[in-house]
């Protein structure tokens, strides 16, 4: 083509136009091209000619960083009907990649028609461009539209998905690739294997393993290390170990991989052993190896050993890097040792290691749940100094931290600073306003978000729904719930339903919450463990026993019983709703148990007065290798108390302090006062209360009052009663206690300067209510209730029963009660409830379950025992003190409450 004359009506071109100082330029407007070609000219020659000039010019622009002009010029080239050479086009694509401009890349792509032939090379380049400029979906579209692909195309597409961590897609592409007749090379195999490891696809890993052996790539270290990593990451440690032992030329990566595998499975001892073997084999552990070990200890919650590892690595002359520090800070923070985490952060700065975004995010996030504002602000200022003020990750954690600390203005400031907000940024800020009850602000933000470049996701909608629910605006919440699928085009998930359920529960509307739960299931939305865990505590009472069974049914259908916290919660709810047998059954079926499992069932047995069962379980628990904690001891002291074995109880109390280093808290002291009080060791009880390491609270003095009352010791009752009155001066029922005791002891009322509460207050506090469930209906009764149908029959039945009870009343000695006497307020509500259950409803129940708002009085307690014997029924009654289980004339509280 050299020597051809270019016909042009402007300045003639030199042979090498791109070397000129001021080259001619194509206008980006295609109207008046500066170069016009003679129309009579042979078209083939002119296109060739034009193409050459065009290419030269485009190359020139590219080379000089004028990519935008180059791409704009394509319009006029296209209008003229000229073509661009593939090489030039590829160069333009590369420039778009270099400039990271998907915008220009797209424009360029539109001009693909400027190539006389579209070849796989150019298309592969386009795939790379889209992938590298951040639009993997466009990349995939080009890729899928290609008629012919080569190994490079596959590599580009797989590499792109791998960079975006779309592991499933990588594996899918691998299979299509094999179908197309291409076998990955030793660069591509590690990428595919990495995907297998990261999404736990050990089967594909195995398949690749066999292909690798057949294709003779197994000696490639990169490939064999990747195979090892798949087995290790997927927890197939036996296979991993076998492969590892056979590996030739093990390097640091191989050793780290196997150590990491053991660590991931929590088998840190094994990891340690491999670590020593590594050194024996003459390979010095690298920083990476040490970090793997240390991180693993942290993840297992053992910060001490993690610290030891750091010390050890230093003794080997290896300096901790930012990963070491970050992992250690995260470990401390996750184990609620925020102060130490903060100290370590300072130490890190002093050691001259610069924190990265992850370090800062970790540290700030640690402050959020603890509401550690001061520390959080310190991290914030470090972040600003280090130039992370606009970083989206750091910013998001700051918004969350400030919101949780109630500093919404500071959160908003951070929010405004973040330039490239992501969906988390918006959600954190909206969540912050919702949590604080500013639903209006949250809603404004929610609307702004819809106008931004970040669309609300399902979490945003759920947060808004929850926000409205929490502020009591149920209608708005329901409105959003209804609209999210229609208007928002967002599919509701279990969490959306959970927001409604949690909201109704929070607002005290348990039945509404259960209704939503049932509706959710009828629409085939699967309730998850969150749903179950929020609903169960709402059913922890005797009149909700059927509801617990209903939820348990759902748990079984959804296979959620294997979830430890769900199973634990079921044990608790069954116990509290009066079905301790079911609690035990669930416990026995559980393959894994944690300390909460044991504690929950032990506490359940204590609640039901089954001290022996509780103590047996305690022994089993210790044999199973569990270390009793605070909660366990509260139950065990109570269990000894129930069994009347004071000395054993006292021994447990001292052993708790001396052997287990658990400092007694209020619950332990309360259990001790009950233990001593039950057995009538009143002097000891008083001494215990007077020498308590913590200031006795209302519950402890109440327990002492009960002890005095039960054993007819008016002096003690007066002493405890006066203390109670000091703590709650306006409390009507305690005033009545004290006044009653005064009357019994002959003390003048005037000696106590009583502040009388308002009359309305008193009636409200001392009115006894009982609830009972009969045939899925909850009935309520109030003392002296005449409103129920057949009231007359109920009353005469109660009278006839009362006439049959004889023998001394154990409470006769000091007859003071929480509820007004029946002579004043009428027949107590629990008697009416029992009568209703036995003779007032068509079918007499064998198991009666009653919830009562006040402490049951001695008279009703006696009657319940009597009825349980002559009617051969079981009566469960939970009052404000405990759960009474009446059976065969006895009560599980052993007449002490």
Q: Which tokens go with 867?
A: 């009825």
Q: Rounded to 5 degrees, what are φ and ψ at 770?
A: -135, 145
Distance between CA atoms of 297 and 304, rounded to whole angstroms? 8
Identify the bridge partners of residue 780 per DSSP, sorted by sequence position. Answer: 771
Nearer to Zn ion, 51 or 892 (CB): 892
Identify the bridge partners of residue 883 per DSSP, sorted by sequence position. Answer: 878
* Stretch touching Zn ion by CB under 5 A, among 12-20, 204-212, 656-664, 825-833: 825-833
What binding mask, one character per residue, do residues 720-759 give for Zn ion by CB under 5 A, x or -? ----------------------------------------
In this structure, the strands spanning 883-887 and 890-891 are antiparallel
8 Å CB contact between 478 and 446 = no
Nearer to Zn ion, 566 or 851 (CB): 851
Which has the closest alpha carbon to 620: 660, 663, 566, 584?
Answer: 584
Q: Does 783 participate in binding Zn ion (rule CB under 5 A)? A: no
8 Å CB contact between 218 and 226 = no
Instruction: Output the CA angle 825-831-833, nearest 5 degrees.
Output: 110
Distance between CA atoms of 378 and 360, rounded to whole angstroms? 11
Instruction: Output the CA angle 684-689-692, nearest 5 degrees.
Output: 120
Identify the bridge partners of residue 874 per DSSP, sorted by sequence position. Answer: 847
Instruction: Output the CA angle 375-377-378, nearest 5 degrees.
Output: 65
What binding mask, one character per residue, do residues 362-401 give for Zn ion by CB under 5 A, x or -? ----------------------------------------
Q: Which tokens go with 88?
A: 């030039």
Which listed residue (860, 873, 875, 883) binds Zn ion by CB under 5 A? 860
Nearer to Zn ion, 714 or 878 (CB): 878
Q: How many other CB atoms are there within 10 angstroms of residue 818's CB atom?
A: 19
Distance between CA atoms of 658 and 664, rounded to whole angstroms? 11
CB of 712 to Zn ion, least distance (A): 18
Nearer to Zn ion, 307 or 705 (CB): 705
Q: Which of residues 80-139 bind Zn ion (CB under 5 A)?
A: none
- Residue 837 DSSP symbol: I
CB of 878 to Zn ion, least distance (A): 10
- 784 conformational bin, left if phi > 0, alpha if psi -120 to 50, beta if neither: left
8 Å CB contact between 398 and 380 = yes
List, edge to edge, every strand of the sheet that includes 769-774.
Answer: 777-782, 769-774, 847-852, 874-878, 883-887, 890-891
Which has the closest alpha carbon to 118: 138, 148, 95?
Answer: 148
* Stretch touching Zn ion by CB under 5 A, among 146-154, 181-189, 304-312, 860-868: 860-868
CB of 584 to Zn ion, least distance (A): 22
Nearer to Zn ion, 380 or 884 (CB): 884
> How many residues of this chain bind Zn ion (CB under 5 A)?
6
CB of 511 to Zn ion, least distance (A): 29
Nearer to Zn ion, 209 or 779 (CB): 779
How many angstroms separate the Cα of 817 from the Cα of each of 736, 766, 812, 829, 897?
9, 10, 11, 15, 11
Rounded to the nearest angstrom, the gap between the alpha carbon of residue 555 and the centroid of all alpha carbons in its chain is 19
How many angstroms separate the Cα of 619 from the Cα of each of 367, 599, 616, 626?
39, 12, 5, 10
CB of 835 to Zn ion, least distance (A): 13
Q: Does 893 participate in binding Zn ion (rule CB under 5 A)? A: yes
* Stretch touching Zn ion by CB under 5 A, among 206-214, 407-415, 625-633, 823-831: 823-831
Nearer to Zn ion, 848 or 893 (CB): 893
CB of 701 to Zn ion, least distance (A): 21
Q: Does 850 participate in binding Zn ion (rule CB under 5 A)? A: no
Which listed residue (72, 92, 131, 891) binds Zn ion by CB under 5 A? 891
CB of 804 to Zn ion, least distance (A): 17
Which has the closest alpha carbon to 260: 234, 221, 281?
Answer: 234
Which listed residue (84, 857, 875, 883) binds Zn ion by CB under 5 A? 857
Nearer to Zn ion, 129 or 891 (CB): 891
Which listed residue (828, 849, 852, 862) binds Zn ion by CB under 5 A? 828
Nearer to Zn ion, 561 or 895 (CB): 895
Nearer to Zn ion, 441 or 828 (CB): 828
Distance between CA atoms of 259 and 271, rounded to whole angstroms? 5
Nearer to Zn ion, 549 or 890 (CB): 890
* Stretch touching Zn ion by CB under 5 A, among 10-18, 230-238, 547-555, 857-865: 857-865
Nearer to Zn ion, 313 or 832 (CB): 832
Nearer to Zn ion, 746 or 808 (CB): 808
What binding mask, one character per residue, do residues 867-886 give for Zn ion by CB under 5 A, x or -? -----------------x--
Reported as half-sphere exposure (CB side, CA atoms, 13 A), residue 384 has a value of 9
* Burial class, 477, CB count within 10 angstroms (exposed 0-12 / middle 13-18 / buried 19+): buried
* Stretch touching Zn ion by CB under 5 A, among 112-120, 344-352, 612-620, 888-896: 888-896
Nearer to Zn ion, 423 or 815 (CB): 815
Residues near Zn ion (CB under 5 A) are 828, 857, 860, 884, 891, 893
């Amino acid at each position: 083509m050299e020597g051809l004359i270019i016909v042009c009506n402007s300045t003639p071109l030199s042979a090498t136009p791109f070397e000129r100082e001021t080259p001619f330029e194509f206008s980006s407007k295609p109207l008046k091209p500066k170069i016009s070609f003679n129309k009579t000219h042979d078209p083939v020659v002119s296109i060739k000619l034009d193409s050459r000039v065009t290419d030269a010019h485009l190359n020139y622009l590219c080379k000089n960083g004028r990519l935008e002009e180059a791409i704009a010029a394509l319009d006029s080239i296209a209008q003229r009907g000229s073509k661009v050479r593939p090489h030039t086009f590829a160069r333009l694509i590369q420039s778009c990649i270099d400039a990271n401009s998907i915008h220009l890349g797209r424009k360029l792509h539109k001009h693909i028609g400027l190539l006389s032939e579209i070849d796989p090379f150019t298309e592969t380049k386009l795939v790379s461009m889209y992938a590298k400029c951040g639009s993997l979906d466009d990349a995939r579209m080009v890729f899928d539209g290609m008629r012919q692909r080569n190994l490079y195309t596959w590599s580009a597409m797989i590499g792109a998905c791998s960079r975006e961590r779309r592991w499933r897609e990588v594996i899918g592409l691998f299979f299509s690739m094999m179908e197309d007749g291409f076998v990955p090379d030793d660069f591509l195999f590690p990428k595919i294997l990495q995907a297998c490891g990261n999404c736990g696809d050990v089967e594909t890993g195995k398949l690749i393993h066999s292909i690798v052996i057949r294709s003779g790539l197994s000696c490639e270290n990169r490939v064999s290390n990747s195979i090892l990593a798949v087995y290790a990451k997927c927890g197939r440690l036996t296979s991993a170990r076998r492969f590892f032992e056979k590996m030739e030329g093990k390097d640091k990566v191989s050793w780290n991989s196997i150590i990491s595998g053991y660590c991931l499975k929590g088998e840190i001892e094994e990891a340690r052993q491999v670590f020593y073997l590594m050194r024996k084999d003459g390979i010095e552990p690298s920083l990476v190896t040490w970090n793997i070990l240390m991180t693993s200890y942290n993840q297992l919650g053992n910060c001490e050993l993690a610290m030891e590892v750091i010390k050890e690595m230093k003794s080997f002359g290896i300096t901790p890097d930012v990963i070491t520090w970050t992992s250690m800070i995260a470990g401390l923070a996750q184990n609620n040792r925020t102060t130490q985490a903060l100290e370590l952060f300072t130490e890190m700065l002093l050691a001259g290691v610069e924190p990265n975004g992850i370090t800062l995010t970790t540290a700030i996030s640690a402050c959020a749940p603890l509401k550690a504002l001061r520390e959080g602000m310190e991290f914030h200022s470090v972040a600003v100094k280090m130039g992370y003020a606009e970083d989206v990750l750091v910013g998001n954690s700051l918004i969350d931290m400030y919101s949780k600390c109630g500093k919404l203005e500071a959160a908003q400031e951070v929010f405004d600073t973040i330039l490239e907000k992501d969906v988390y940024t918006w959600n954190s800020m909206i969540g912050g306003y919702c949590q604080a009850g500013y639903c209006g602000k949250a809603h404004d933000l929610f609307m702004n978000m819809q106008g931004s470049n970040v669309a609300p996701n399902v979490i945003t909608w759920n947060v808004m729904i929850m926000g409205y629910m929490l502020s009591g605006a149920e209608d708005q919440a329901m409105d959003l719930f209804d609209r999210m699928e229609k208007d928002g085009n967002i599919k509701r998930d279990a969490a959306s339903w959970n927001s409604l359920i949690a909201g109704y529960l929070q607002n005290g509307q348990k039945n509404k919450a259960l209704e939503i739960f049932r509706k959710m299931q009828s629409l085939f939305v699967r309730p998850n463990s969150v749903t179950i865990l929020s609903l169960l505590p709402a059913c922890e009472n005797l009149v909700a026993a059927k509801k617990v069974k209903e939820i348990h049914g759902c748990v079984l259908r959804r296979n959620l019983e294997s979830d430890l916290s769900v199973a634990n919660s079921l044990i608790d709810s069954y116990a509290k709703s009066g079905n301790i047998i079911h609690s035990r059954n669930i416990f026995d079926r559980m393959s894994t148990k944690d300390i909460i499992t044991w504690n929950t069932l032990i506490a359940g047995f204590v609640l039901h007065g089954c001290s022996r069962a509780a103590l047996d379980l305690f022994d089993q628990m210790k044999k199973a290798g569990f270390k009793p904690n605070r909660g366990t001891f509260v139950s065990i002291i109570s269990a000894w108390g129930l069994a009347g074995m004071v000395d054993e109880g006292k021994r447990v109390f001292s052993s708790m302090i001396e052997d287990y280093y658990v400092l007694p808290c209020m619950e332990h002291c309360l259990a001790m006062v009950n233990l001593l009080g039950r057995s009538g060791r009143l002097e000891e009880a008083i001494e215990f209360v007077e020498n308590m390491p913590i200031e006795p609270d209302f519950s402890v003095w109440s327990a002492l009052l009960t002890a005095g009352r039960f054993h007819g010791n008016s002096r003690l009752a007066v002493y405890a009663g006066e203390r109670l009155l000091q703590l709650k001066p306006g409390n009507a029922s305690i005033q009545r206690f004290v006044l009653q005791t005064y009357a019994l002891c002959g003390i003048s009322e005037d000696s106590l300067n009583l502040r009388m509460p308002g009359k309305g207050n008193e009636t409200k506090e001392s009115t006894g209510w009982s609830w009972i469930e009969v045939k899925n209906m909850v009935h309520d009764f109030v003392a002296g209730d005449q409103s129920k149908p057949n009231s007359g029959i109920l009353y005469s039945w109660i009278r006839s029963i009362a006439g049959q009870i004889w023998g001394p009343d154990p409470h006769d000695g000091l007859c003071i009660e929480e509820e007004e006497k029946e002579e004043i307020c009428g027949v107590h509500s629990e008697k009416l409830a029992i009568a209703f259950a036995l003779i007032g409803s068509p079918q007499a129940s064998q198991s009666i379950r009653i919830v009562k708002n006040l402490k049951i009085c001695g008279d009703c307690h006696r009657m319940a025992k009597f009825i349980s014997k002559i009617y051969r029924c079981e009566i469960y009654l939970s009052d404000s003190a405990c759960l009474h289980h009446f059976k065969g004339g006895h009560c599980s509280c052993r007449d002490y409450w």
